Every structure is written in structure tokens, then in C-alpha cells.
Amino acid sequence: MTASHPSRAVAITGLGVISAVGRGVASMDAALAAGRDGLGPLSLWDTDLAGEFPVGQYRGDLDADLAEVGLAPTRRSLARMSRSDKLALVACAEACAHAGLSPAALNRLGAGAFVGQSVCGTLASEAQYQRARAGHTSRRGMGAMFTHEGANTQDQLARHFHLGGPTLGFMTACSSGANAIGLAAARVAAGQCEVMLAGGADSLSRIAVYGFHSLQVVSPEGPRPFDANRKGMSVGEGAGFVVLEALAHARQRGATPLALLTGYGHSCDAHHLTAPHPQGAGAIAAMRGALAMAGLEPRDIGYINAHGTATLDNDRTEALAIASVFAQAPVPVSSVKRFFGHTLAAAGAIEAVVCARALQTETLPQNLGLQTPLPEAALDLVRSPRHAPGLRHVLSNSFGFGGNNAALLFSATEAAWNPS
């Protein structure tokens, strides 16, 4: 999976995304360029928090979206899909179309899907529970019995895209999507699969929204990553997927490699259930692991997409970790959490799409919401979209509860042949 072995280099040949800023890569690009976030009032259920704390909610009609991307589920099958399932299907359909791979082709290639998840189908389960508590015992809403568990998303992907390869779910909290991508790439690099779909999907739910509120890490003004006066995060929802393919196979079928996944690092510092290690030990290990796998040095990296949740602890410790690894080679850094909210298990996957687009467009996304840079950060924070000609390698961080840390390293396609 390193640049020195181009025959098993792993290419990204398709991108798909859905989030609070809209459906599709084009909508994401437009929002990043304009500095337009997707935060707004919560409307999926009635709550007193709706007008006080913005969320990153997708405002479109997911049932209509499924039909528009070529998936036309029956009424019965829709009843057995969670909101997370629908987000995953829509994003995955865009990625497959972008890669030029039909369900028949995916089936012929033995493709599989690795998916990062955390909320799964709990939004529907919560509604069903409330109906039962109120004494309603009709069959209405019983689809929640089928959609609650995360395996339903993999089943839906396998069914609609005719997947015959490995399908697995990963639940490492907010690093889930990044781990799904890193581990799927390892399958391709090892020659076990020619093509894998990988990403993450999560919907808003009561347990997620109220859970983060109970930790007192949610901001009434939205996230301001790496700001000295940051007050916390905003919960979001969405999905991001990439098509991972052996580079040689992609070239053989005439596909266009969009970027390479050259490095992946994962660590678990197990410091605390919700708090990061105060010196960022696990984050440092993950970043160094990704660099080592790619055969690169810190000076080779042209941009870091930070986890950057805008919580007090995360931004401070992540800044320390980045400064430790890149002490001799300062690198531009930004977090995109203000655009989408923190999409939980989908965050690392959506940000993988952001990184691939940064390499393609040679443009670094801004750290939206920043007013007064965190003084102890000592980072080159990107305050407006920055042109980066010759951008070749970018790193993306995703950190989860329990100390589960992941770092993905993406490279421009020519880097496979001319490593720095």
C-alpha cells in the first residue's frame, strides 16, 4: 500500500457525499468555496433545544433522492430502511456512478462494503419506543425492529448494489468512517479484492443529540474549531463513501484515479471513555503510523484536515499532537466541522471526500468560524480557501470516544510513480 509498490497501490475512483450542505459532491464543493455552513434548527422531532442549538441536518427528501440516484425501493422496503440506511445508499450511489461501476459490474468484481456507524437505526427505534410508552400497539412503525442494528445498512448496500464481497460494519465512535476506509483499502492492497466501497453514515437521533448535550460539549452558536473562545460542537448527520480500487485495475478498465490512499494509522490510547489523552499520545501514534505506511516524512504533507470538533479538550490536544509530529515542518491545518456539524461515524468518510477534492482542485478548505486562533495551537490555520499549487499529500484525522484514533493519508495520483 506504499508508493514503492504501484502494482498494489490503492486508488480512489469514485466519491459520494450527502450532508447538511446538500446532496452530492458539487453541493459540497460549492459550500466549501462560498464559506456557507449547513447548520440550522432541528426539525426531525419536537424538542425545546431546536431553537437554541443548531444542528447539521440534511433538509432534502431522502425517499425522492433514492429514486433520483436510480434506486427505487418499494413502499415495503422503504419501511425497512432507517434514515442512516438512506443516507448511506444515496452517497454510495453517487460514488459508484462517479466510478462508472454498475451493480452488475460490482457483482462481477466481487466488491464488498466496509461501513462506519454509530447511531444506526435508533431514530426510528426511539419513535417506536415513544409510541409503545403511549400505549399504541399497532404494527405502525414496526420497521424499526428491522432497522435498529447497524448490520441493516450493510445488508441494504449489498442488496441494492449486488455486492458479493465482504461487508462489515465498524463502530469506533467518531473514527468509524475513517477506519472503514483504511481497513477496506488494506483488503485491496493485499489483493483480496479489486474493488471495495467504504465510508460512513449516521443520522441525527435523540440519543446522539441529548447525549452530547449531557456532556456539555454543544455550542449554541455553532462550532468554531481552534478558536480561543470556542464553546463546543454541533451534532450533524450525513454519509460519505469512496470507491477504492487497485490502481492497476482502475487503469486497465479506463477509470480515472482521483487520488491514492497511501497511508493509514490507527491507535487506541484508552485514556478515558470520552476525553482524549491530554498530550495526544494516541493521535500522535495514528499520524505517525499513516506517515510510516506511506513512506513519507512530515515535510511531505501539504495539508492536514483536522478532526477539530471545537470542543475544549479536542482542539487543545489535537493541536498539541499536530505540533509534536510536525514540529520541524509546519503545515496548513483546517477543520470543516462548521460546514456539516460533527457527523459522528460519517465524519472521517465525509472528510475523506473533502481531502480527495482538495488534491484534485489544489485548494485547501477554510477553518470556518475561526475568529481568535487558539494561542497554544501554534498552527497555520487556513482562514479562507487557499490555493495550493502542486499539492501532493494530505492527512486527515478522526478521533473517537475511548481513545480510538485514525489517520488517513491521501496522495495525488502521480505520487504513486514519483514519490517525494
Catalytic residue among 92, 96, 120, 174: 174
Is 277 catalytic? The answer is: no
**Whether the Cβ atoms of residue 170 and residue 179 lie closer than 8 Å to each other:** yes
CB atoms within 10 A of CB 376: 12
Catalytic residue among 266, 277, 342, 393: 342
Q: Please list the alpha-helical segments (H only) found in 17-150.
A: 25-34, 62-68, 75-78, 83-99, 103-109, 122-133, 144-147
Distances (CA, A) of 326 to 262, 397, 415: 19, 14, 21
Is 307 catalytic? The answer is: yes
From the centroid of its chain, how far is CA 401?
15
CB atoms within 10 A of CB 230: 25
Spatial separation of the C-alpha atoms in residues 281 and 318, rounded to whole Å: 10
Partner residues linked to 386 by β-bridges: 364
DSSP conformation letters of 258-318: -EEEEEEEEEE----SSSPPTT-HHHHHHHHHHHHHHT--GGG--EEE------HHHHHHH
Spatial separation of the C-alpha atoms in residues 119 and 177, rounded to whole Å: 12
DSSP conformation letters of 43-65: -SS--TTTTTS-BB---S-HHHH
Is 355 catalytic? The answer is: no
**Whether the Cβ atoms of residue 262 and residue 408 lie closer than 8 Å to each other:** no
Catalytic residue among 98, 160, 277, 307: 307
Distances (CA, A) of 166 to 161, 247, 248: 13, 20, 21
Collapsing DSSP states into helix, strand and coil, what is residue 235? strand
Collapsing DSSP states into helix, strand and coil, what is residue 387? strand
> What are the grid coordinates assigned to 353, written together?
471526500
The residues that are catalytic are: 174, 307, 342
